[in-house]
Structures are given as structure tokens and as C-alpha cells.
Amino acid sequence: MSNHLNRQDLLSLEEYSQQRPQFRARVLEHKKPRKVHLNEHITLYFEDRLTMQYQVQEMLRIEKIFEADGIQEELDAYNPLIPDGGNFKATFMIEYEDVEERKKVLATLVGIEDRLWVQVDGMDKVYAIADEDLERETEEKTSSVHFVRFELTAEMAAAVKNGADINMGVDHENCTLAIKPVATATRDSLAGDLA
């Protein structure tokens, strides 16, 4: 199942400028159930075709990109973040306003992006595959932003489509969190990512 965006899916800069307020409002509403706070500092933002279309349109607008090559570069950068029917894809963020506090915490959470999990009720945990585009951590600290993918089995996907609960969390030596289950609106929105 290819959900990838192509140039025909995008509005011209002029069209986007005219439609942006309504489009932005629609996307922000769509994103609400797709944001899962694991705690006050750790959040998963689940991406899909609409969130990535918005991201591309915004990048084109900000950078004033209207040439075919530039548009294709943006599409190539964001298309890998669109789920392909058998997975969930998310931006994982560790957010601290205080820079020094953030540095200290990130130093204690090396590898956390590989310890994120999603679990369809009654089935095994599925751990994240993180940062396939580039390495974001060092031996000293993890990054505050990671791109993660959770590959589900066909059985898991079918269960979610049929209303099974979804649990999420982190199993890291310095951070153990779990939400069991996520909100129904979140589960329903994520079910739409599956073929």
C-alpha cells in the first residue's frame, strides 16, 4: 500500500496561501488524538499522510520552494515518515524547557528510542525501529527528537482494526512508563494507518 505523496497532491504556493487557515485548522484537529504523552516530558506524535502533507506544504511555504527539484527533495524527505499499512510511524520527542535540565536528562536516556514499545492488547510488545534516516545519539547522550517505526504483524493490525486496545510505553533502565490502554480516539485514529 503506497500512501506516498507526489507533486499532484500538493497545492501551489498561491493556492496554499489561500487555503492555509482552513487546512491548518483541519490538520491540528486531526493531530490531537495522534499525540500521546507518555509523561509530561516524553511524547509520541504519530504521523500519517495528512500530517506529512501539511509538513511539506509548510516547508515549501517557508522556504518559498516552487521548482520541481526542490519540491521533490521535500517529498523525498517526508514520504518515509508516512505509515505503509503495516506499521505506525511517529516523531518521538523528549521536551524540557530548561536547557541544562534537558542536557542532564538526555545523558541518562541513551538508547531510549530503541526501548519504546507499542502493544496490541494480549500480544507481544513491538519495540521501535529508530532513526533509519540518520543516527541521532552519541555515547554521551540521546537526541531530543527521534523518528520511530513500529512494525506490526498482520494479526496485530487486524486486531487493532477490530477494536483491540493499544498500550504504549518505554522500558529503559532510567525510564519506565506505560499507558494501558491509550485513549479510544487515539486507537481509532491509528487504526486508520493500517491496511
Q: Kindly report, residue by residue over 39-75, the tens digit of the pLDDT.
A: 999 999 999 999 999 999 999 999 999 999 999 999 9
Number of structural domains in the chain:
1
In a domain, 100, yes or no: yes
Could you tell me which residues are beta bridge partners of residue 175?
A: 172
In a domain, 1, yes or no: no
Q: What angle do CA 172, 181, 83 make, to 5 degrees?
A: 75
In a domain, 36, yes or no: yes
In a domain, 12, yes or no: yes
In a domain, 118, yes or no: yes
In the predicted structure, residue 123 carries a pLDDT above the cut 80: yes
Distances (CA, A) of 113 to 62, 142, 148: 30, 8, 7
In a domain, 112, yes or no: yes
70-103: per-residue pLDDT in tens? Answer: 999 999 999 999 999 999 999 999 999 999 999 9
**Position 103: which residue type?**
K
Tell me how far the alpha carbon of residue 154 is from its chain's centroid: 20
Q: Range of 78's domain?
A: 7-191
